């Protein structure tokens, strides 16, 4: 059984001889070939070169040929900010700027970077399509809706639900179009990547997300394809509603208890995947810590429909040796047994050098944001934007409002996360108090929280 067959069986929730291995190589492919994320994500030839290098190094059973949730948004009129080491991020929202659904640009396969990713897919299908499963990743309806509407979508879900449902219907049609092109040109699995679903309640998920995800999954199935739902953040409260959708498989990130997830996914007869920590293991860890993280997940999840994967899109500059260490856990039984036997443990980092600010200081309200990285993580981006807008809008008199982001892609961010007692991403703290956990507050709520803190600093 080759890698492609393993992935397809696991995605269908079937037992496999071993867990399948799916490294989410996005802009990291550019790092492997010495190109920036911007250069890489704009060139079919470079995407092919980087994906081939990832296949050579990491011996995967499947690979995405592009991991970029802004492709659809760019075509529909969103402006993007480009960087060297992360995928682009959305900076403008057409429906917030007076556009209507009827006046958005036509969504056609000749527009934007769609021709680039489709050309890369066709080339990779010829190069490796018989050996490994190729994943076509599309922007999920809810995340695309947020790109179009902006942060006010959360308030409008309460105040103008019918308007948001109309946007969701529109975004669902976009997703179905992308899935058609991906399946036509060789995708084995179409993944609906919808990270913003971590920011809503189960009731809101069932009302505003599930019906539209189901339409996309049913469309993919009708075309003879397999679907996977990729989510990130702490979606514990939404796991059961997500598993109740018609997707073939569900993938989660490092914030999810994999033992509980395994039980739920197996009962739902779904394929499931996750959830090697991106930063503390893959980006900042050692080969040994990566092996132990991967082994723990493998031992927990077994091989009934399970696909080992990172928690999300790989950071650009993950050391290849760390991913190769994970590969060894997948393919080398002796290496797995050795790691189990030695049970090596690194000394824990107490972060004694990370000092929290003086939150009692008069005249200043401090808003700390613990994120993965607001330039590459959509929920982190929109929480950061919400904080910055609320800080400007709040009436705080002579009290200054400071908004500081702490990215856990660096040690300082991890240290702040530990010192503040933050357990999920993204999280917003005000004056050291953890207030909004993996949930983007609406502007009135956040402004009121800042103004309350400011009032206490004026006493």
Mention the CATH class of domain 3-342: alpha beta
Judged by average pLDDT, the poorest of 5-19, 83-97, 372-386 is 372-386
**Which is more confidently placed, 85 or 233?**
85
Burial 72-99 (b: 16+ CB within 10 A, else e): bbbbbbbebeebebbbbbbeebbbeeee
Q: What is the pTM of this model?
A: 0.86
Contacts of 235 (CB under 8 A, 6+ apart): 197, 198, 242, 252, 255, 256
Judged by average pLDDT, the poorest of 10-14, 133-137, 259-263, 340-344 is 340-344
What pLDDT score was predicted for residue 423?
81
Give the residue range(s) of CATH 3.20.20.210 domains in the chain. Answer: 3-342
**Which is more confidently placed, 190 or 333?**
190
Burial class (CB in 10 A: 0-12, 13-18, 19+), 459: exposed
The yes-or-no verdict on residue 347 having pLDDT over 80 is no
Cis peptide bond upstream of 426, omega within 30: yes
The yes-or-no verdict on residue 367 having pLDDT over 70 is yes
What pLDDT score was predicted for residue 345?
38
Q: Which stretch of DSSP H or E encloses residue 14?
A: none
C-alpha angle 283/288/292, rounded to 5°?
95
pLDDT interval class at 341 (50, 70, 90): low
Query: What percent of the chain clears pLDDT 90, i.e. is strictly above it?
Result: 85
pLDDT interval class at 104 (50, 70, 90): very high
The yes-or-no verdict on residue 318 having pLDDT over 80 is yes
Euclidean distance between CA atoms 78 and 104, whole angstroms? 10
The yes-or-no verdict on residue 343 having pLDDT over 60 is no
pLDDT interval class at 232 (50, 70, 90): confident
Token reading at 288: 């040994």
Per-residue pLDDT tens over the stretch 149-172: 999 999 999 999 999 999 999 999
Which residue in this structure is represented by tokens 């769609």?
Answer: 114
Per-residue pLDDT tens over the stretch 398-448: 999 999 999 988 889 989 998 999 888 899 999 999 999 988 999 999 999
Contacts of 117 (CB under 8 A, 6+ apart): 44, 47, 65, 66, 68, 71
Euclidean distance between CA atoms 124 and 407, whole angstroms? 34
Kindly state the average pLDDT of the residues 119-133: 97
Euclidean distance between CA atoms 79 and 88, whole angstroms? 10
Picking from 305, 323, 226, the residue whose alpha carbon sits closest to that of residue 265 is 305
What pLDDT score was predicted for residue 339?
80
* Domain 364-457 is found in CATH 3.40.50.2000: no
Euclidean distance between CA atoms 129 and 134, whole angstroms? 7
Per-residue pLDDT tens over the stretch 173-186: 999 999 999 999 99
Picking from 158, 194, 160, the residue whose alpha carbon sits closest to that of residue 174 is 194
CA distances from 77 to 101, 166, 176, 192 (A): 11, 18, 19, 21
- DSSP E strands, 25-107: 62-64, 80-81, 89-90
């Amino acid at each position: 059984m080759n890698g492609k067959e393993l992935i397809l069986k696991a995605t269908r929730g079937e037992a496999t001889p071993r867990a399948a291995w799916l490294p989410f190589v996005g802009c990291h492919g550019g790092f492997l070939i010495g190109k920036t994320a911007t250069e890489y994500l704009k060139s079919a030839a470079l995407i092919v070169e980087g994906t081939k290098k990832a296949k050579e190094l990491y011996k995967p059973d499947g690979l995405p040929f592009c991991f970029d949730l802004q492709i659809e948004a760019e075509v529909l009129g969103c402006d993007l900010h480009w960087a060297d080491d992360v995928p682009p991020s959305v900076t403008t929202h057409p429906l917030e700027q007076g556009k209507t659904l009827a006046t958005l640009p036509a969504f056609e396969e000749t527009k934007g970077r769609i021709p680039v990713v489709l050309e890369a897919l066709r080339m990779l299908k010829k190069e490796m399509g018989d050996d490994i499963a190729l994943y076509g990743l599309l922007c999920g309806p809810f995340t695309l809706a947020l790109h179009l509407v902006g942060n006010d979508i959360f308030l409008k879900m309460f105040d103008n639900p019918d308007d948001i449902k109309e946007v969701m219907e529109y975004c669902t049609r976009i997703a179905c179009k992308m899935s058609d092109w991906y399946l036509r040109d060789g995708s084995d699995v179409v993944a609906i990547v919808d990270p913003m679903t971590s920011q809503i309640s189960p009731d809101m998920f069932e009302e505003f997300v599930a019906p539209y995800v189901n339409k996309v999954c049913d469309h993919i199935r009708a075309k003879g394809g397999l679907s996977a739902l990729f989510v990130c953040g702490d979606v514990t409260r939404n796991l059961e509603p997500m598993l109740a959708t018609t997707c073939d498989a569900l993938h989660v990130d490092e914030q999810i208890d994999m033992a509980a997830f395994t039980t739920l996914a197996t009962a739902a007869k779904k394929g499931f995947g996750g959830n090697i920590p991106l930063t503390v293991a893959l980006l900042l860890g050692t080969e040994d810590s990566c092996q132990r993280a991967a082994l723990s997940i493998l031992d927990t999840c077994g091989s009934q429909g399970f696909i080992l994967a990172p928690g999300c899109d790989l950071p650009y500059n993950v050391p290849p040796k760390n991913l190769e260490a994970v590969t060894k856990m997948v393919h080398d039984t002796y290496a797995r047994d050795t790691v189990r036997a030695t049970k090596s443990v690194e000394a824990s980092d107490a972060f004694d050098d990370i000092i929290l600010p003086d939150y009692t200081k008069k005249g200043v309200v401090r808003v700390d944001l613990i994120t993965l990285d607001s330039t590459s993580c959509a929920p982190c981006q929109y929480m950061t934007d919400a904080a910055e807008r609320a800080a400007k809008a709040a009436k705080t008199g002579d009290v200054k409002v400071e908004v500081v982001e702490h990215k856990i892609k660096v040690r300082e961010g991890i240290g702040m996360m530990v010192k503040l007692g933050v357990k999920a991403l993204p999280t917003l703290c005000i004056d050291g108090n953890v207030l909004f956990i993996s949930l983007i507050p609406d502007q009135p709520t956040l402004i009121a929280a800042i103004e309350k803190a400011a009032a206490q600093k004026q006493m």
